[in-house]
A = this chain, B = another copy of it.
Amino acid sequence: MSSEHPTEPDGSDTKDRARRTDAKRSFDALVQAARDVFASSGVDAPVRDITGKAGVGTGTFYRHFPKRGDLIAAVFRNEVDSCADAAPALAENHPPLEALAAWLHRYSEFIATKRGLASALHSGDPAFETLPAYFDARLRPALSQLLERAAKAGEIRTDLDADDIISAVANLSMPAKTARPDHTRRVVDIFMNGLKSR
């Protein structure tokens, strides 16, 4: 499902030839592998670590990601997609309030994980310029959907703005160092509690 979204660069569809399926497979495998490697070794992880885990050659790597920023941006988009795509699935399988809470936690995790990328993001690399817009375009509708559903069910306040919540939870999820590892989860819970209608 998430592969429907433009994790890939270049949204054009009027090509002489369509992109070969093996190319797409390599691309996806690299993004997936990079995601894992970044998580365990940081964004400066060696190229060979990534190609090794992805099971592709280094040549293939550079074909898809000539600049390192290209890879980081692709991983970021991919994770934004995962997070956004979680919303409809949660809505289907859980009551409104529960789905909303679950998604906020999911989103909170995403933010916390992205601490490593965050510094890279602010580095001025042109590959990252469109990311904030993408972030907003994908995540806001996802949250809005859950908010509306919960609001219609009368379970939360109706004066809530998706933008505010997204940035509020983002801030809550970026504490420097926390004594207890579940601190973030707890404050997000409290915040979530505040959303409820009385």
Q: What residues make up the interface of A, taking CB atoms closer than 8 Å to B? A: 115, 118-120, 122-124
Contact = CB atoms under 8 A, between A and B. Distances in A.
A42 to B, nearest CB: 9
Contacts of A115: 124
Nearest to A121: B119
Contacts of A118: 122
Contacts of A122: 118-119, 122
Contacts of A120: 119
7 contacts: A115-B124, A118-B122, A119-B119, A119-B120, A119-B122, A119-B123, A122-B122
A118 B124 CA distance: 11
A120 B123 CA distance: 9
Contacts of A119: 119-120, 122-123
A124 B115 CA distance: 9
A119 B120 CA distance: 7
A119 B43 CA distance: 13
A132 B14 CA distance: 52
A174 B122 CA distance: 12
Nearest to A42: B123
A123 B118 CA distance: 9
A182 to B, nearest CB: 20
A167 to B, nearest CB: 18
Nearest to A120: B119
A119 B125 CA distance: 12
A138 B44 CA distance: 33
Contacts of A123: 119
